[in-house]
């Protein structure tokens, strides 16, 4: 006996995880995807020239474990742990900044590989049936018998399904959300930032002679080239290559309108990355890859009674600078299913409670992600920022669990909800700021008094060494 039929729209990363979680709890799941199966040979051939990765961290892994330990192990067997960020300056110097206090890591994984792995997992579940090339076009939440009637477009024709509940995991431009908005007084806002992104590529080390040296730079770092108004990042792939992404204002991309300007821009701003990528690879990426926009979406509530709920990017797309979009979407599933169990599978009560309690956490991570852009492209090279980080780390070591750096709470502590992390950070930040002011003021007074010729950075290192 199943507990009812749930339709999940979107077989992306979050939709697949939601399908596995509902199935595990005894529901019959119909999983709909507007695109073809990404494992089909023509789809693999179509995307084989690009390897796009993302960072999976503790919240994502915790959810995979919640579904099945073996699934989490399969995912972790194909990641490259990144224990620190590597900051590249204009001269090509590299400085490593640890992410965690105890060697914790976020993990680079191939996005397509992860999606295929999750679909393979979905395939072996008898109670999940997947429909590709089925695009949700209409939802009737008042169908007979209290059911939900969904219309999909399939090979140019409408096709109708009736289910007990609809879970929208159909991404940032969610159709489910639009349907929900017609039936619910939903507060909604969407903010585009004035920056775009472009995917670039660093090939495997051409001089490689063994498996160990196939990467030209460290595979266990998230590489950043912060240049204040714009930046470049790179995450390693298992084959020795790196997926790199350039983030910059739209205007900056528009001005790079010739090959000479593109190469000139890299010579001036990212000379070491230019060497790693090669001119032809850079130009190919600029010519072939689209510029992506970056959008934050906030809304509430996320549900219509027990009939429909949205999760993942459909409910909260965020700019990618905290590496939390997917991790947070996975966490949505774990939080939702925990509430469902607590409410003894009363779906309406569960969706209502989820909407009420989850909103503050989602707003927190959306805002944190936005703020982290400034940190990554600008602050990471400022002396004050480095001093704050150092003090933050010292206090965390002294006070153990009572003091945790924000990055640790967000990326490595799934037991601390996002809003709680922000609450704790607000208090900690005020304390760190006072200490920094004290250190800087004493340094200035010290400088005047002893008329020393020490530079500011040596003072800082003296204080903290
Ligand atoms: P999606 O991945 O968008 O999947 C939605 C699915 O729904 C798609 O398959 C789509 O085809 C399908 N669909 C859409 N409409 C319909 C319809 N009408 N009918 C049927 N199916 C439909 N997150 C991290 O956690 N770590 C990172 O390091 C990270 N890096 C990122 C880097 C960049 C440059 C960007 C842009 C994002 C990054 N993210 C990262 C965010 C992450 O990609 C998203 O949060 C995640 O993909 C959201 O998954 P989702 O399943 O909710 O939505």
What radius of gyration, in Å, describes the C-alpha atoms of the chain?
A: 24
Its sign, for the CA torsion 274, 280, 281, 287, is: positive
How confident is the model at residue 51, as a pLDDT? 65
Residue 92 tokens, joined: 């090509």
pLDDT, residue 266, reads 98
Pocket flag, ligand 1, residue 14 (CB < 6 Å): yes
> What H or E segment, with its residue span, contains residue 235?
strand 231-236
Q: Could you tell me if the CB of 64 is within 6 A of ligand 1? A: no
Predicted confidence pLDDT, tens digits, the chain (465 residues): 789 999 999 999 999 999 999 999 999 999 999 999 999 988 887 766 566 899 999 999 999 999 999 999 999 999 999 999 999 999 999 999 999 999 999 999 999 999 999 999 999 999 999 999 999 999 999 999 999 999 999 999 999 999 999 999 999 999 999 999 999 999 999 999 999 999 999 999 999 988 889 999 999 999 999 999 999 999 999 999 999 999 999 999 999 999 999 999 999 999 999 999 999 999 999 999 999 999 999 999 999 999 999 999 999 999 999 999 999 999 999 999 999 999 999 999 999 999 999 999 999 999 999 999 888 888 888 888 889 999 999 999 999 989 999 999 999 999 999 999 999 999 999 999 999 888 878 766 666 565 445 444 554 454 443
Rounded-to-integer distance, Cα 99 and Cα 57, Å:
12
- Output the CA 425–ligand 1 centroid distance in Å: 28
Contact 289, 253 (CB under 8 A): no
Neighbouring residues of 237: CB distance < 8 A, sequence distance ≥ 6: 51, 53, 80, 108, 110, 243
Q: How far apart are CA 352 and CA 91, in angstroms?
A: 54
Q: Answer yes or no: is the C-beta of 245 below 6 A from any ligand 1 atom.
A: yes
Single out the residue of 291, 296, 292, 293 nearest to residue 371, CA to CA: 296
Q: Is the CB of 34 under 6 A from ligand 1?
A: yes
For domain 5-79+110-188+296-372, give the fold: FAD/NAD(P)-binding domain (3.50.50)
Q: Which atom of ligand 1 is nearest to the CA of 328?
A: 25
Atom of ligand 1 nearest to the CA of 314: 52
Q: Which protein residue's CA is at the shortest distance from atom 33 of ligand 1? A: 320
ipTM: 0.99
């Amino acid at each position: 006996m199943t507990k009812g039929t749930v339709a999940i729209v979107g077989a992306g990363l979050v939709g697949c995880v939601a399908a596995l979680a509902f199935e595990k709890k005894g529901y019959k799941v119909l999983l709909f995807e507007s695109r073809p199966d990404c494992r089909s040979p023509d789809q693999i051939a179509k995307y084989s020239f690009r390897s796009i990765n993302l960072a999976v961290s503790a919240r994502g892994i915790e959810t995979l474990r919640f579904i099945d330990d073996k699934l989490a192990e399969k995912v972790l067997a194909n990641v490259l742990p990144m224990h620190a960020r590597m900051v590249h300056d204009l001269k090509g110097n590299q400085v490593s900044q640890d992410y965690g206090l105890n060697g914790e890591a976020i993990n680079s994984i191939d996005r397509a590989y992860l999606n295929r792995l999750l679909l393979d997992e979905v395939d072996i579940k008898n109670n999940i049936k997947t429909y590709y090339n089925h695009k949700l076009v209409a939802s009737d939440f008042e169908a007979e018998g209290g059911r939900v009637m969904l219309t999909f477009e399939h090979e140019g024709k409408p096709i109708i399904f009736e289910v007990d509940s609809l879970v929208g995991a159909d991404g940032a431009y969610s159709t489910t959300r639009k349907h929900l908005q017609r039936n619910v007084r939903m507060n909604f806002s969407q903010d585009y930032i004035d920056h775009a992104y472009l995917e670039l590529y660093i090939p495997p080390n051409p001089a490689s002679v063994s498996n160990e040296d196939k990467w030209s730079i460290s595979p266990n770092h998230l590489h950043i080239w912060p240049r204040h108004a714009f930046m470049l990042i790179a995450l390693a792939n298992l084959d020795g290559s790196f997926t790199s992404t350039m983030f910059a204002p739209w205007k900056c991309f528009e001005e790079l309108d010739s090959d000479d300007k593109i190469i000139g821009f890299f010579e001036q701003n990212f000379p070491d990355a230019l060497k790693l990528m090669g001119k032809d690879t850079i130009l190919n990426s600029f010519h072939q890859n689209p510029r992506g926009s970056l959008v934050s979406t906030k809304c509430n509530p996320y549900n219509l009674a027990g009939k429909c709920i949205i999760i993942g990017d459909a409910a909260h797309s965020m700019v990618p600078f905290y590496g939390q979009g997917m991790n947070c979407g996975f966490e949505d599933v774990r939080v939702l299913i925990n509430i469902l169990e607590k409410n003894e599978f009363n779906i309406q009560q569960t969706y209502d409670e989820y909407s009420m309690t989850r909103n503050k956490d989602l707003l927190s991570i959306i805002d944190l992600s936005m703020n982290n852009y400034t940190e990554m492209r600008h602050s990471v090279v400022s002396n004050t920022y480095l001093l704050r980080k150092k003090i933050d780390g010292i206090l965390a070591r002294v006070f153990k669990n009572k003091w945790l750096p924000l990055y640790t709470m967000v990326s490595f502590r799934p037991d601390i909800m996002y809003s709680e992390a922000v609450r704790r950070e607000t208090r900690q930040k005020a304390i760190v700021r006072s200490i920094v002011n004290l250190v800087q003021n004493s340094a200035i007074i010290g400088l005047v008094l002893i008329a020393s010729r020490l530079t500011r950075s040596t003072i800082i290192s003296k204080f903290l060494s």
